Each structure stands twice: as structure tokens, then as C-alpha cells.
Amino acid sequence: MYKRRKMCKVSFRELLGRELNYIEHKYAPNELYVEGVMKLPLKDPRVSVIGTRNPSPIGRNVARMIVERLVKEGVMVVSGLARGVDTVAHTTAIEHDGKTIAVLGTPLDRFYPPENKELQLTIMREHLAISQFPPNYATQRWDFIARDKTMALISDATVIVEAGAESGTIYQGWEAIRLGRPLYIWKDTFDNPNLTWTSEMEKNGARRLDKQTIDELIDELPVSPIDYRVHL
């Protein structure tokens, strides 16, 4: 295990091992605050597993299954430490001896939601927590949207497990598409006739995820730090 890193500021070059291209730079924060033990720059492939704060029992089971598969393949599991799917993603990765990264919508010195305080502390001690907000920053609602965009940027791919018509998760889905990163939506959500955003995302490249296509997702991930430079 690497030596624990106390909270410090890093650049995206230090985090990812490369400069951002002009598309990535548009919504990227100028600096990040990190705490944890993961060696930088991050080298293992990273997948965001995200979704509603109020998942169904099936959604929770799906999130666990996806994370277990990812961990088995050595993939880092990224999520936002929110209630629901995010919490399931982090805890499942930890329970199966995987690596997890929490990207926060608050500063690292704040615990939100409060019931996830111990989970956040565990991640800061044994994994990695990232925030774009400095200590003592007064959190605003739209900061969580900014967090979602940063999480899409840090991840090589995004998986939406379960989300409603107005879920904040949708922002990360669109950001993944804008960045040209793979976006997968679990089949039950993808095929939900009450949702319009899924079909819109499909038109822009989002794909249906099921037990069989998880292998397709894993095969699409980089085996080393991916180069997202834009070739003109």
C-alpha cells in the first residue's frame, strides 16, 4: 500500500499524467484537491458507476454486479459518494478489495451526505478522494453538476445504472458524450418508455448495458493511460 497523501492541490497533468486537450479543458477546474493513497498519475483504467439516490432493490443489485465485474478486471471504480447507487458502488469496490475514487461536490473537509462520513474517511485513508473545491468553500447546488462533469473527465467510461427523468446523473452522461468517452446505460433504464433522455443519448452514441455487454465495456477500456489528444 502506498503512503497516505494528506490533502494537497494537484493539476490534471499530475492526476492523469498528461495535459488536457481543448475539449476537455472547457469545463475543467483549474486545480484539484486530493487525499488518499493512490499513486499519481493514475494508471489503471477508471469507470464511473453512477445513478439515482433512491435506487430500487434491482438497481442496487445491478450496481453491485457491475462493480464486482469491474474490480475483478482491475478497473478503478469512480463515483460521487452520493446516497444510493454511488454509495453501493464505493462500498462494493471496497468489499471486493478493489480501488475506488470518490469525486466530491463539496470540499474534502466536509462530509455530505452526513451518513457517508465514515465511508468518505475510509476512502481518504485507503483509496482516493478528489474535490475541485477548496477547504471551507460554501457549497452551492450547481457545484454537484460541476462535480459530475469533472467525474466524467477523470473516467475512461461512464455507466448509468438507474436514474429518473430529472436525475443529476444525466449531466454526467451528456458530459461523457461531449468528451467522446463511452457511455453505457443499464438495459432496464435504457428501455424505460417513461424516459426521453435515454433515447436522446442513444442518438449521440450511448449504448445499452447488460450482463453480456459488460465484457464489451471492459474491452474498450485503455490498458495504459489513454491519450485523448485531438488530432486535427
List pLDDT tens digits, range 187-203. Answer: 999 999 999 999 999 99
Which residue, among 69, 85, 80, 82, has the nearest Cα to 210 in the 3D structure? 69
Q: Give the tens place of pLDDT for each residue, 18-52.
A: 999 999 999 999 999 999 999 999 999 999 999 99
pLDDT surpasses 60 at 89: yes
pTM listed for this prediction: 0.93
pLDDT of residue 230: 40
Domain locations in the chain? 5-218
**Cα 196 from Cα 103, distance rounded (Å):** 27
**So what's the pLDDT on residue 168?**
85
Q: What is the mean pLDDT of residues 97-104?
A: 98
Cα–Cα distance for residue pair 3/16, rounded to 1 Å: 19
Q: What is the mean pLDDT of residues 165-181?
A: 94
Confidence of residue 223 (pLDDT cuts 50, 70, 90): confident
Q: For residue 227, what pLDDT is reported?
A: 47
Measured distance CA(182)–CA(50) in Å, rounded:
14
* E strand intervals along the chain: 5-10, 32-36, 46-50, 76-79, 100-104, 128-131, 157-160, 183-186, 207-209
pLDDT tier for residue 224 given thresholds of 50, 70 and 90: low
How far apart CA 188 and CA 203 sit, in angstroms, is 18
Residues β-bridged to residue 95:
none
The count of other CB atoms within 10 Å of the CB of residue 231 is: 5
How much of the chain, in percent, has pLDDT values that exceed 70? 94
Topology classification of domain 5-218:
Rossmann fold (3.40.50)
What pLDDT band is residue 2 in, cutting at 50, 70 and 90? low
